[in-house]
Amino acid sequence: MNQPGVPAGPERNAKDRKVTMYRNGSIYTAADPFATAMVVDGDTVAWVGSEQAATSIADSSMEIIDLKGALLAPGFVDSHVHLTETGIALAGLQLAGVRSARELLDAVASASGAGTVLGHGWDETVWNDSTLPTLEEIERAASGRHVYLSRIDVHSALVSSSLAAAAALNNLDGFSGEARVVREAHTAARRAARNFQEHQRRSYQELALREAASHGYVALAEMSAPHICGPEDLMMAASWNGQMNTPEILPYWGELATSQDHAQAILDSLGTKVLGLAGDLNMDGSIGSRTAALVDDYSDASGQRGSLYLSVDDAAKHLVSTSLLGIQAGFHVIGDAGLGAVLDAFDAAAAEVGEQRVRAAGHRLEHVEMADQSAIERLAKFSVTVSVQPVFDAAWGAAGGLYAQRLGDRSRSMNPFAAFYASGVPIAFGSDSPVTPLRPWSSVRACLEHSNPDQRISARAAFLGHTRAGWRATKHRNPLMGQLVPGAPASFAVWEVEELMVQVADSRVQSWSTDPRARTPLLPALDTGSDPRCLQTVREGQELFAHESLRI
């Protein structure tokens, strides 16, 4: 007779269904904060419990994996990625470490292969001399090959003169005859540089998916948009879902709709289903490229306040169109003026179709780096999910960093995670890869170590924002997604950890606890200087990645 809460024996399972027991570890589950074992039956979590119970139900037909003290936890969801762009960045020139125009040109000159030289990650704000190379210098370094080198924020790029000519950049907004291109000129240059054949696109996407799986991701929200890629790129990204040996793709398409019929026509034309007309539908640009729309001037560029790419009326029509269809809309928005315009659009849309219909659609905004309390309350009013990138603060929020250079004292209020939580704004976390790497624990750590102590959140809150909240941000119908409880999809990752603890955001509070009354599942200690190592990633019972040491 089976024990209560223990899965039925293998004889009751279908013959082709695999049953795996994980034991002798730590299971992150709300079902039992002290669980050390878990059974996966096919694609479903069948049981979690103690080591003693695991011994009593272990069966020779099960695969038994000894965790050796490892942590088994829900798999990560990245709420904002660009799959092809990530693959390009991984395969191309790595420019984050260059510190001058000379070093960048040397990197271009050393590029192997044929065709366009692609690179990513340069950031002139950390160079010894911020002077950028010229079109002609880049052309000479590449010996005539086209060159496209995206800035770390991917909102501007350096191009060669031959690529500028091929992309017909003359007379386009954002091209001044210099190597750096922004706005319309950047869009044209990017399109010309990534005119790939199908096999090339596939190889880039596969590289990105392998990278994600090796770091514990079970799902990625793909934020495609016409200014980034064509529908063929989106279709290929969505097609990976049929293979089950990659992280799940959660597809979005950021194209502006002017009416309900127009929105439906866009959806019908894509050739694949999407979760919404949202994502990188740009209201503005980025802080680093000074294209984020600000209320006041950039501190290091008098007279410059960035760019609004859409009007309030444009955004309102888009929100009305999608709300009437009951699908998600959303915008890329970073600056305070950009956010103000989006919120005015929400007000206008609610006046036309009703606040409840706007709320029910579950709209989302990407980034939202500059939000005061008034704006946060307006976001909460419309139940807008905010998809944010914690490593932005880790990379640029320190004293004297990019935010301080561009914004001065305003930088202190950037990325207000704690304020979002306190006001009831739903948050989901991501990387914006390739802007920041697919490193989920670094992202959790960034929440704990926010440059503004008032905006720090606990490791548990950050972890939930990187897992369960990622599914909820997509309006997923299964409420068990992102949890490891009996009946939930078996999507998880196994981590080699140095120490487990409860970590809080306030340094005045004890940051660890062994008191069983706390009943709080433990997470890796993130003050050790290194991230936990991923040993296995599983999506709905299918292994996506396994480290060689997992089954030793």
Tens digits of pLDDT across the chain (552 residues): 333 333 444 444 455 689 999 999 999 998 898 899 999 999 999 999 999 999 999 999 999 999 999 999 999 999 999 999 999 999 999 999 999 999 999 999 999 888 999 999 999 999 989 999 999 999 999 999 999 999 999 999 999 999 999 999 999 999 999 999 999 999 999 999 988 889 999 999 999 999 999 999 999 999 999 999 889 999 999 999 988 799 999 999 999 999 999 999 999 999 999 999 999 999 999 999 999 999 999 999 999 999 999 999 999 999 999 999 999 999 999 999 999 999 999 999 999 999 999 999 999 999 999 999 999 999 999 999 999 999 999 999 999 999 999 999 999 999 999 999 999 999 999 999 999 999 999 999 999 999 999 999 999 999 999 999 999 999 999 999 999 999 999 999 999 998 887 666 654 333 333 444 345 678 998 887 789 999 999 999 999 999 999 998
Gap between the Cα atoms of 203 and 199, Å rounded: 6
Residue 485: how many other CB atoms lie within 10 Å = 13
Q: CB under 8 Å to 149, separation ≥6 — which residues?
A: 93, 95, 104, 108, 117, 118, 119, 120, 122, 138, 157, 158, 159
- On whether the CB atoms of residues 119 and 149 are closer than 8 A, the answer is yes
Gap between the Cα atoms of 479 and 477, Å rounded: 6
Q: CB under 8 Å to 105, separation ≥6 — which residues?
A: 133, 137, 138, 141
Strand partners, 181: 157
User: What Cα–Cα distance (Å) separates residue 222 from each residue in 84, 251, 252, 401, 402?
Assistant: 10, 5, 6, 29, 27
Pick the CATH number of 198-472 from 3.20.20.140, 3.30.420.40, 3.20.20.80, 3.90.870.10: 3.20.20.140
Class of domain 10-69+484-497+532-546 (CATH, top level): mainly beta
The architecture of the domain spanning 83-193 is Roll (3.10)
CA torsion, ordered 528, 531, 532, 536, to nearest 10 deg: 180
Nearest to 67 by CA among 493, 460, 491, 508: 493
Residue 500: how many other CB atoms lie within 10 Å = 18
For the chain, domain boundaries: 10-69+484-497+532-546, 83-193, 198-472
Q: Is the peptide bond before 434 cis (omega within 30 degrees of 0)?
A: yes
Gap between the Cα atoms of 218 and 422, Å rounded: 28
